[in-house]
Amino acid sequence: MKSNVAIFPVPAHAKSISVIMVSYMTGPALLEAVNAVLRDKAIAELIIVDNGNTDSLRKSLSDYVAGSSRVRLLQGHGNIGFGRGCNYGATLASSDYLLFLNPDAVITEGAALRMAKASDNLAAPWILGAMLRSAEGREQRGGRRRALTPWTAFVTFTGLSKLPGINGINMHTEPVPAGLTKLPTISGAAFMTNRAGFDALGGFDERYFLHVEDIDLCRRARLAGGDVAFLPSATVLHYGGTSKVRRQVIERQKLRGFIRYFWNYSDKIWAKALCLLALPFMAVAIMGRAWIAAFHHAIAGRPQA
């Protein structure tokens, strides 16, 4: 893979943490996210995988990181997808601990080190997710999740999970645990693993271009005997929806990811049948959000991101 790589010296740490951040048409939130990482002295390095941004932002980013000894900026490879971009950044990381962070996710100081320390209590290959909060301070959907199965997908996308006693995949409306808690699935927007575990799992499955690759990674970690966990004290402000790419394009990739996941892992006839039954509901729920958002932007007279 050809790339223009700006490499700067990285200081050594006893418990060294590398942040991998993949950006594509992110917008101004990217610089805020970068700032937050570099404010945390416990983080040894930040690797930015620039899959493509506006010319003005790319120049600002290059100028911004040029004076930092803790940043590696990878450019010139084009939009290779989220999972592949994460794998690319991870191969160049020098630390034992890998923290994957969305480019619109602003990590609080100390959260990375708390995650690294908490991982001592987890079985390898481990994956540890952070608390995702909105700008209003509310816990975001997706940070804590049950296992994705044909049933949990069906009740989530049909809305049946809103009925008493029926659980869908998302857990953000349930009481926040007091401390480190093992869960089936966490969000790829902000999670940590270690080098040995990530390599043992083979990294992200690059067949997922965008979305669902985090769910797939969690599943493989569990099957390998590792722990997937959530640390509520590691908080991250996650803006979400900052990409300048049309939401229909993003949601279409999400739908494709769900279809790939279920078809890969539904080894029983009834499970594949339930997958096919849930498919129309998934399409309406996922793509419907995109079209509703587009309609609201049109009514407000704003260009759609």
pLDDT in tens, the chain (305 residues): 434 444 334 444 457 999 999 999 898 899 999 999 999 999 999 999 999 998 888 888 888 778 788 999 999 999 999 999 999 999 999 999 999 999 999 999 999 999 999 999 999 999 999 999 999 999 999 999 999 887 888 788 778 888 999 999 999 999 999 999 999 999 999 999 999 999 999 999 999 998 899 999 999 999 999 999 999 999 999 997 656 555 666 677 777 887 788 877 767 776 677 767 767 776 776 655 544 444 444 444 444 44
The model scores a pTM over 0.85:
no
Residue from 105, 48, 49 nearest 234 by CA: 105
> Cα 260 vs. chain centroid, distance in angstroms?
18
pLDDT of residue 28: 84
Find out whether 27 and 243 touch, Cβ atoms under 8 Å. Answer: yes
pLDDT of residue 245: 56
Euclidean distance between CA atoms 225 and 288, whole angstroms: 37
Q: CA 204 → CA 29, 44, 163, 180, 299, distances in Å?
A: 25, 23, 34, 24, 39
- List, in sequence order, every residue forming a beta bridge with 132; answer none if it has no partner: 236
